[in-house]
Amino acid sequence: MEEVLDVYAEAYDPTCPVVCFDERPCQLHDHVLEPLPCQAGKPRRVDSEYERCGTCNLFVVVEPLGGWRNITITPRRTKQDFAHQMYALVHDHFPTAPKIRVVLDNLNTHTPAAFYETFAPEIAHHLCQKLEFHFTPKHGSWLNMAELELGILVRQCLQRRIPDIPTLQGETTAWADYRNAQHATLTWSLTTSQARTRLDHLYPLQSNLADH
């Protein structure tokens, strides 16, 4: 945990970006009956019945202090999907950065081995050289600021029926573009010293010393 907090505490350096990466499943729904549009004195009316249209996966990459984010929709969440996200991070989003520090959950797909299962060895090796992973601890995914960005995305964009992946990609891209244009940043307030005081269950020795 403290490793991630130390990364968050560093001053913003655009030449060595800190980005947070996360993913979530997304259920696709469509209307059975078309909603009735707004009329004078009447709001838009939506029937409660809906059609399930399958599921997909949503990847989010956010640079908290840089005010930048990117959303990608994929049919599944595989090692190859993860590898392609990291490839885009290195080659498309931050091509001149000598090192990119990535805060992410410790899932079984989030490994450098995924690069070698997806790309030629020289490309995989290049990704390993460019990326520096900082994993959140088990049951500590709340430390990942990408979860904050996902929460905002859900509240502002996803609490409605979206029937298919192209529509979802278009809507989330428009949302991300708007947030980027606003230069919306995320600031982490919990410091390492505060964590040692507030999260005493994670510091049993310190808690015992305080009791004495």
Domains in the chain, please, with CATH? 14-186 (3.30.420.10)
Q: What is the pLDDT of residue 209?
A: 43
pTM of the model: 0.84
Note the pLDDT of residue 58. Answer: 96
Give pLDDT, residue 212.
44
Question: Which phi and psi angles does 157 have, rounded to 5°?
Answer: -130, -30
Residue 152 has a CB neighbour count (10 Å cut-off) of 15
* C-alpha atoms less than 13 angstroms from C-alpha of 166 in its C-beta half-sphere: 0
- CA atoms of 163 and 131, how far apart (whole Å): 35
Q: According to the model, what pLDDT value does residue 29 have? A: 76
Measuring CA to CA, which residue among 148, 173, 114 is closest to residue 8? Answer: 148
- Each residue's pLDDT, cut to its tens digit, for the chain (212 residues) gives 788 898 999 999 999 999 999 999 998 877 666 766 777 877 777 767 767 889 999 999 999 999 999 999 999 999 999 999 999 999 999 999 999 999 999 899 999 999 999 999 999 999 999 999 999 988 888 889 999 999 999 999 998 889 999 999 999 999 999 999 999 999 888 877 776 666 666 655 554 445 54
> Which token pair is 1?
């945990």
In whole angstroms, give the CA distance from residue 199 to residue 127.
35
Tell me, what's the pLDDT at 203? Answer: 58
